[in-house]
Amino acid sequence: MDRLILHNDRIVPLSHARLSPGQAGLLAGWGVFTTLRIYRGKPFEFHRHWERMTRDAARLGLDMIYSESAIAKAIAELARVNDRPEGMARVWFVRNQGGIWADQELRPATDVLVFTRELVPWPAEHRLLIVPHAIYSAGVLAGAKMLSWAQNSLLAERARAQGYDDALLLNERNELAECTSANVFLVLGGKVLTPPLAAGCLAGVTRDVLFEIAPRAGIELREQPLTPADLARAEEVFISSTTREVASVGLVDSGAGRVLKWAVPGRITQGMEKAFTDYVDDKLGPPRD
């Protein structure tokens, strides 16, 4: 990550930032986070990210004591001082008080931390490994993007150790839910289908944008419960996330020696990818040479 970070109301060197060992959010994973793309020095679609963090914070009893405009401005300034006009930012809101092991020092109710860095390189063709029983869709915090991210990180690490790029997670009903850090889409009969939020998946910001722009591209996109059997019938598969935008899937290992493959990139996947790129350019203007 870059040398300078935002900690509450100050931009400081990473080595100077200090969190309390008794911080409830640190010890219990009590907080929310998001990953932003930085285009042309600006945090992209920050309002959508803020709205989701605010919803998840309410579910977690987390006090968002900072304003949307102040944090957006601070992220842009952090990108500037880190000389990061193109890249990514990770934003954390961490609860300070709560639980019997929290320290009693007078601290803000919530700490904010923001890091920036270069983009993670992703392959042109993703390879996914199915993991059953990885999502419990009826859980109290199902679909929340919170600091307790160890399971997703562990499953992604295991998938990569086996030569895959990500894990494709199934819920308790054997339905497709999401990848560890991306939403999943299937092309069936020329239409794009994606699991509903009731499957336990994250309400991804890029997913949200794709629902908005798909009709302009002449593509029908809708929610529908999906199973591994639908994968076998799919004409194309792609995933979406802030850092990957729209990314083709070329292979899914569904276990028991069954591997599904697709030629990539598919025509509809390319159409969605172009529609998203056009959306970014419409919002921010074309990239400077």
- The string of pLDDT tens digits covering residues 52-106 is 999 999 999 999 989 999 999 999 999 999 999 999 999 999 998 777 766 667 7
Please tell me the total count of domains within the chain. 2
Under DSSP, the state recorded for 254 is -
Kindly state whether residues 216 and 271 are assigned to the same domain. yes
Q: CA-to-CA distance for 160 and 157, rounded, in angstroms?
A: 5
Q: Is there a domain that residue 165 lies in?
A: yes
pLDDT at 97: 78
Angle formed at CA 159 by CA 154 and CA 162, multiple of 5 degrees: 130
Q: How far apart are the first and last CA of the chain?
A: 25
**By C-alpha distance, which of 66, 84, 95 is closest to 5?**
84
pLDDT of 166 above 60: yes
Regarding whether 108 and 32 lie in a shared domain, the answer is yes
Q: Is the pLDDT at 108 greater than 90, yes or no?
A: no
* Pair 245, 131 in one domain: yes
Reply yes or no: is the peptide bond before residue 132 cis, omega within 30 of 0: no
- Say what the pTM is: 0.94
Look at residue 276 in the predicted model and tell me its pLDDT. Answer: 97
> pLDDT tier at 289 (50, 70, 90 boundaries)?
low
209-267 residue pLDDT tens = 999 999 999 999 999 999 999 999 999 999 999 999 999 999 999 887 789 999 988 99
Alpha-helical regions (H) of 214-266? 228-233
CA separation for the pair 236, 244 (Å, rounded): 17
Residues 34 and 282: their CA atoms lie apart, in Å, by: 23
Q: What is the pLDDT of residue 288?
A: 62
Q: What angle do CA 234, 235, 239 make, to 5 degrees?
A: 75
The whole-angstrom separation of Cα 186 and Cα 228 is 11
The residue-averaged pLDDT of 180-187 equals 98
Higher local confidence (pLDDT), 108 or 100: 108
Query: Residue 27 maps to which CATH number?
Result: 3.30.470.10
- Band the pLDDT of 28: cuts 50, 70, 90: confident
Domain assignment present for residue 286? The answer is: no
Q: Domain span at residue 141?
A: 126-281
Query: Cβ distance 139 to 116 under 8 Å?
Result: no
pLDDT of residue 284: 87
End of a domain among 78, 100, 117? 117
The whole-angstrom separation of Cα 94 and Cα 57 is 10
- pLDDT given for residue 111 in this prediction: 92
- 126-164 pLDDT, tens digit per residue, is 999 999 999 999 999 999 999 999 999 999 999 999 999
CB of 266 within 8 A of CB of 236? Answer: yes
Query: Does 288 fall in a domain?
Result: no
Please tell me whether residues 79 and 209 are part of one structural domain: no
Cβ–Cβ < 8 Å for 238, 194: no
Complete edge-to-edge strand list for the sheet that includes strand 110-117: 10-13, 4-7, 110-117, 87-95, 31-39, 42-43
Q: What is the pLDDT of residue 231?
A: 95
The reply to whether 262 falls in a domain is yes
| Residue 279 and residue 155 in contact, taking contact as beta carbons nearer than 8 Å | no
- Identify the pLDDT of residue 67: 94
Q: Are residues 101 and 146 in the same domain?
A: no
Q: How far is CA 22 from the centre of its chain?
A: 28
Same domain for 86 and 183? Answer: no
Q: What is the pLDDT of residue 23?
A: 83
Contact partners, residue 240, CB within 8 Å, separation at least 6: 182, 183, 185, 204, 206, 207, 210, 246, 247
Q: Are residues 70 and 138 in the same domain?
A: no
CA–CA dist 203, 226 (Å, integer): 16
Residues 35, 62, single domain; the answer is: yes
Q: Same domain, yes or no, for 28 and 76?
A: yes
Question: What's the confidence (pLDDT) of residue 257?
Answer: 78
Q: Is residue 260 part of a domain?
A: yes
Residue 102: predicted pLDDT: 67
Backbone φ, ψ for residue 46 (5° rounding):
-60, -35
Structure confidence at residue 96 (pLDDT): 84
Question: Would you say 197 and 246 are in contact if contact means Cβ atoms under 8 Å apart?
Answer: no
Query: Would you state the pLDDT for residue 134?
Result: 97
DSSP state of 14: G
Task: Provide the pLDDT for residue 128.
Answer: 98
* Residue 267, number of CB atoms within 10 A of its CB: 10
